[in-house]
Structure 1
Amino acid sequence: MAKAERIDQRLMKTGKGARGALYFAIGLGLVAGLLIILQAWILAHIVNDVSFHGLGMAAVSGFLAALLGLFVLRAGLSWAAEIVAFRASASIKTQLRQELLQHLFRRGPVALAGERAGDIASTLMEGIEALEPYFSRYLPQMALVSLVPVAILVFVFPVDWISGLILLISGPLIPFFMVLVGYAAEAINQRQWRQMLLMSAHFLDTLQGLTTLKIFGRAKDEIEIVAHISENYRRSTMAGLRVAFLTSAVLEFFASLSIALVAVSLGARLLQVHASVDFYASFFVLLLAPEFFAPLRGLSTHYHARMSAIAAAKRIFEILDAPAPTATNSGQELAASSTPLTIELRDLHFRYAPEDAEALAGCTASFPAGSYTAIVGASGAGKSTVANAILGFVQPDTGTILVDGQDLRGIDRNAWHAQLAWIPQSPRLFYGSIADNLRLVKPQATDAELRQAAQDAHALEFIERLPQSWDTRIGDLGQGLSGGQIQRIALARAFLKNPRLLLMDEATANLDMESESLFLDSLEKLRQGRTVIVIAHRLATAQRAERIIVIDAGRVVETGSHQELLAQGGAYARLVDAYRGRHGQ
């Protein structure tokens, strides 16, 4: 429970921006609760005057009108309190989603490579949605529990101290039992939330790998695994609901028992010859007794929502607390220019985890402005780490990356990314139209600019053959397009962005000969007037480069042209011999 209390405190800090709206909602609920006392007083007067003083309906018409007005006013206040609390919680959810997304962007794709997409998506959607009842219902109810019952006791004790004493003793039993139940409920809700994240992540992975599963005949086995995970989630959910229902039943029992004690006490004293209370006082107290427990009942109803929010918030804060690069979006701007960039790496050292070997161990290299450089090396040599460091996805432990003489760590992140284009082996396309996917790099691009970029990338012809041309919807990851078409759209994005630096990770590795030929033809045009760095896995790619940098064990061991490095007979020559041996060349 101590951990849950710490999460409670952090959630309160998260909702600090909407605290005023929450206080206003609590105030409206409190006024509605206090009107219950006035409503009970008027109703007791009406019944007493009509039943024992012989007054007609005309004599109490004023009280009846006031009572009707109170009904309407209470309903309006309760509705307004819910609306205000809901809008406050919506504001908090929006703020928290933005904070989560910004943190995920700061961490970058390398840090998130070990995370499951379904887990992150569920946390961003269902996880944050689970906080809505906490802010809109549980927190206001907590405030009402501490205010409305006290106000009712203030009016009950002067009228009948025995009934007040019964309520005072029995009232704290409900929060006491909720705390006891909370110890079991917290573990159940944590387990349920973990099962839900596991189910979401696994289901998304299964959908994305559906083709592979069908090819290897593993679809039925995967169905059984999904069924098993779903069954575990069902059990966790039912266990949580069982605790919630049993808790509500027990608390309703104690509340009903306390009200019954008040009623029996009042009835017994009314039947005495010298009654210590009259009908008016008894009826007034009896009307207030259920209202005394109403906020406590409401708290027990929303207490389960609190436990669900605590479980969801734990995962949310785990993501927010994960370390992110210290670079911010408040650094220096790059000097305005359309000329190619010069990149220098000076003695870079980096390891992904403290227990891992160094991915970069004193890497030093230069990429002159306008040069076309290929980075080659055996698997695990550090090629992708160099690219990730230049992109800003990882920060070297020591060493410096200079961009036109400026330290990359001091350059505004958004300004840096605006200067470059990155084309990986599997470019990411999102659900939406072809035009939407191109405009990711330049939202204000005109139709003419889109056509020109597509034409330069040899993508215009196939785009115009699509059923709805530019408005054709494609699925996530480019579903509906071939690998060559996806790469050409990625290349068109690079043309549209017009970067000063182009980085590629063997973008032709998964293409057929025709698609590769079209891609390379477009690349020859794109590389003009900009610095190009290619992570090369194929010999043909390295041969086309003006300069080749050979990396081994995280450091640069050779630099030169293809012919120069072959003549040296060193690491590059051995890589070429190994490549030709594998491919029978």
Structure 2
Amino acid sequence: MPSDEDSAPPARRRTPPVDPRLLRYARASRGFFVAIGVIGAAQTVTIVAFAWLLTRAVVGAIDGMPWSELTETLGGLAGIVGLRALLVWLRETVAARAAAHVEEQLRAHLVEAVGVLGPAWLETRNTAQLAVTAGRGLDALDAYFGRYLPQLVQTVIATPVVLLVMWWQDWISGLTVLLTLPLIPIFMVLIGLATRAVQERQWQTLQRLASRFADTVQGLSTLTVFGRQHRAAASIEKVTETYRIETMRVLRVSFLSGFALEFLASISVAIVAVSIGFRLLDGSLALGVGLFVLLLAPEAYLPLRQVGVQFHAAAEGVAATDDVFEVLDAARDEARIRPLDGRDTPLAEPPARRVLEARRPASGLSVRGMRVRRGDGMLPPVDLVALPGTVTLVEGPSGSGKSSILAALRGAALFDGAATYEGRDVRALAPSQWLAWAGQQAGLVAGTVASNVALGDPAPDSDRVRRALDLAGARLLDPARGLGVQGAGLSGGQAQRVAVARAFYRRLAGHAGVIALDEPSAALDAATEAALWVSVRTLAGDGAVVLLVSHRTTARTIADSVVRLESIEAIA
């Protein structure tokens, strides 16, 4: 549930507008830069050719060029105009396709990175902000690839070529452009720093707004009971107003920066034009050379001006890719520094814990000296062995770490010690390969009851869904029944039974050898609970390893072994 005040967003480290990590994580961007480079070189040729043909046509008309020759020149000029338009279309097409491919690749890598980092990392992140980054943030790459990067490549190619051609034709004009040209990048840097800071504040405000809205909707019933719904709505309104202000500030900076760059470029071109005019008057410069250089002068400044303008459109995409790259870098570092055996360095030696269990040969699920990390500390060690065909009950008072054991097994919490399934370290296995889990929170999603039960199955089986619901005590639920966000439309007991059915379905489908249930009967009446215990016992009898966490004394009636956890306070 949200707090009444938002904390300040963390400071973002500065990254270059073209992050080299883009080439590392999005292979589609490599071919894009090559294609844009070729197109940019062709566009530069058309710029010079256009200025030369137009100069030739104007000077030829003044000097009385034959009509046939003038017509040929005008035809070539028309062809250059058409070619230039074609290159612009081709650049936009390549950029649009590249943006789509890069967005697809980055989203895929982001999902893969979250899988590498695991549930333990994900629980420390704001999922609403992550969703905004993966959604709208990566969508903003359309402007980044469609406008900014092509213009940046065009600037790198066209500006020096045009400057060299001008210097070759008239070194005075070339020198003038060379001396005035740096003013634009200097102002671009100054304006860019201001724009980047304003854009980042806007992006962070949008993330806070998404997070605030998601948290408020999720906790709306609780807020209503305690009379805090109006204050939560006021908080959303406050963040929305902040986002509006930040957006207007971005637009204001964009307009002012565009004016500043256009003003500098206009003054610089005017200086070149005045110099050419005076030299034409005193006869020291030919008309053809002067007109040719004058036509090229705006083209020398235009790419740099456009880079500054397009940077504003791309700033949101740059900010989003920073967030994506941070996640991808974290996953990359995790893959590099994580030992092959999956072991982590212990934080501290915890006090001993008394564990009561039936000693059996090591097979199935084996946990030895598991010390689960909780915050900056560690829980006391746990040992247990759960064999196929048995039900292992973990019980103890609240806060003793029962749920933490299941969290560690499914990768949602770090731990020291050994935990193996069929001789393999569970940290080297994806939970979906061996574990069917139902937690205290149902974790349902929008869709049908059947889609929730068969979650993760590429080929759902309707008979198996029905069987899983029957075993979970949800026989009366229609598998085709539609559910809202987070399973809205079901009571707490019904939602819990659907979650248990989901775990049963994975076992029935042969996707999991271990069934882990965390307080599966907490919202059930005595009769339904008794039926559930029968189902659990049946699945164990079919060869499943069942790890059951429950505070209900009735769970002992189906348990083959019991692991008793003592309270942390009692041990301390």
Please tell me the TM-score bracket, short chain as reference.
Answer: 0.7 to 0.9
Which residue of structure 2 aligns with residue 373 of structure 1?
Answer: 392
Which residue of structure 1 aligns with residue 348 of structure 2?
Answer: none
Alignment match of 2:484 (pick from 475, 480, 483): 475
Which residue of structure 2 aligns with residue 60 of structure 1?
Answer: 70
Q: Deviations over 1:24-67 (max 9, x none)?
A: 122112211220110111112122222331644x5422222222
- Structure 1 residue 490 corresponds to structure 2 residue 499: yes
- Structure 1 residue 532 corresponds to structure 2 residue 532: no
When residues 317 and 515 of structure 1 are mapped into structure 2, their CA distance, relative to the original with a 3 A threshold, is farther
- Structure 1 residue 295 corresponds to structure 2 residue 266: no
- Residue 358 of structure 1: CA displacement? 1.4
Alignment match of 1:115 (pick from 109, 125, 143): 125
Which residue of structure 1 aligns with residue 320 of structure 2?
Answer: 312
- Residue 477 of structure 1: CA displacement? 1.1
State the SS of the aligned residue for 2:523.
Answer: coil
Which residue of structure 2 aligns with residue 342 of structure 1?
Answer: 364
Which residue of structure 1 aligns with residue 418 of structure 2?
Answer: 400
- Structure 1 residue 232 corresponds to structure 2 residue 245: no
Aligned-partner Cα distance in 2 for 1:441–1:224: 39
- Residue 269 of structure 1: CA displacement? 2.6
Aligned-partner Cα distance in 2 for 1:109–1:537: 25
Aligned-partner Cα distance in 2 for 1:377–1:517: 21
Aligned-partner Cα distance in 1 for 2:95–2:330: 30
Aligned-partner Cα distance in 1 for 2:438–2:46: 66
State the SS of the aligned residue for 1:344.
Answer: strand
- Residue 428 of structure 1: CA displacement? 1.9
Which residue of structure 1 aligns with residue 55 of structure 2?
Answer: 44
Alignment match of 2:80 (pick from 70, 86, 90): 70
Which residue of structure 2 aligns with residue 426 of structure 1?
Answer: 441
Q: What letter corresponds to residue 508 of structure 1 in structure 2?
A: S
- Residue 305 of structure 1: CA displacement? 4.2
Kindly indicate whether the alpha-carbon contact (under 8 Å) linking 2:395 and 2:550 is maintained by their aligned counterparts in 1. yes
Aligned-partner Cα distance in 2 for 1:6–1:245: 20
State the SS of the aligned residue for 1:8.
Answer: coil
Which residue of structure 2 aligns with residue 31 of structure 1?
Answer: 42
State the SS of the aligned residue for 1:418.
Answer: helix
State the SS of the aligned residue for 1:429.
Answer: coil
- Residue 350 of structure 1: CA displacement? 3.4
State the SS of the aligned residue for 1:494.
Answer: helix
Which residue of structure 2 aligns with residue 502 of structure 1?
Answer: 515
- Residue 421 of structure 1: CA displacement? 0.9
When residues 92 and 189 of structure 1 are mapped into structure 2, their CA distance, relative to the original with a 3 A threshold, is same
State the SS of the aligned residue for 1:393.
Answer: coil
When residues 271 and 403 of structure 1 are mapped into structure 2, their CA distance, relative to the original with a 3 A threshold, is same
Kindly indicate whether the alpha-carbon contact (under 8 Å) linking 1:484 and 1:516 is maintained by their aligned counterparts in 2. no
The equivalences for 1:144-543 within 5 A come to 144-272=154-282, 275-322=283-330, 342-353=364-375, 356-359=376-379, 361-397=380-416, 399-409=417-427, 411=428, 413-414=429-430, 417-463=432-478, 470=480, 472-498=481-507, 499-511=512-524, 516=529, 519-520=532-533, 522-529=535-542, 530-542=544-556
Aligned-partner Cα distance in 2 for 1:52–1:134: 47
- Residue 200 of structure 1: CA displacement? 0.9
Aligned-partner Cα distance in 1 for 2:368–2:537: 29
Aligned-partner Cα distance in 1 for 2:87–2:570: 72
Q: Deviations over 1:232-267 (max 9, x none)?
A: 222222223222221111110010111122222222
State the SS of the aligned residue for 1:157.
Answer: helix
When residues 367 and 514 of structure 1 are mapped into structure 2, their CA distance, relative to the original with a 3 A threshold, is closer
**TM-score between the two structures when normalised by the length of structure 2:** 0.85
Bigger drift between 479-488 and 69-78 goes to: 479-488
Kindly indicate whether the alpha-carbon contact (under 8 Å) linking 1:376 and 1:551 is maintained by their aligned counterparts in 2. yes
Aligned-partner Cα distance in 2 for 1:479–1:401: 36
State the SS of the aligned residue for 2:541.
Answer: coil
Q: What letter corresponds to residue 371 of structure 1 in structure 2?
A: T
Which residue of structure 1 aligns with residue 139 of structure 2?
Answer: 129
Aligned-partner Cα distance in 2 for 1:23–1:7: 15
Bigger drift between 33-42 and 86-95 goes to: 86-95
Aligned-partner Cα distance in 2 for 1:53–1:331: 86
**TM-score between the two structures when normalised by the length of structure 1:** 0.83
Alignment match of 2:24 (pick from 10, 13, 35): 13
- Residue 393 of structure 1: CA displacement? 3.2
Q: Deviations over 1:59-117 (max 9, x none)?
A: 42222222222122111112112222232233222222222212212333333223222
Q: Deviations over 1:134-187 (max 9, x none)?
A: 344333322221221221122222332222222111112111111122333333
Structure 1 unaligned regions, length at least 5:
333-339, 464-468, 558-585
Which residue of structure 2 aligns with residue 564 of structure 1?
Answer: none
Which residue of structure 2 aligns with residue 583 of structure 1?
Answer: none
Aligned length: 535
Q: What letter corresponds to residue 547 of structure 2 in structure 1?
A: I
Kindly indicate whether the alpha-carbon contact (under 8 Å) linking 1:166 and 1:262 is maintained by their aligned counterparts in 2. yes
When residues 197 and 514 of structure 1 are mapped into structure 2, their CA distance, relative to the original with a 3 A threshold, is farther
Q: What letter corresponds to residue 22 of structure 1 in structure 2?
A: F
Structure 2 unaligned regions, length at least 5:
1-11, 343-361
- Residue 554 of structure 1: CA displacement? 6.8
Q: Deviations over 1:394-432 (max 9, x none)?
A: 3422x21132344434x5x23x53332101122222222
- Structure 1 residue 22 corresponds to structure 2 residue 44: no
Identity of paired residues, percent?
A: 34
Which residue of structure 1 aligns with residue 6 of structure 2?
Answer: none
Q: What letter corresponds to residue 404 of structure 1 in structure 2?
A: E
Q: Deviations over 1:272-318 (max 9, x none)?
A: 3xx12233222222222222222112111122245434432333233
When residues 43 and 522 of structure 1 are mapped into structure 2, their CA distance, relative to the original with a 3 A threshold, is same
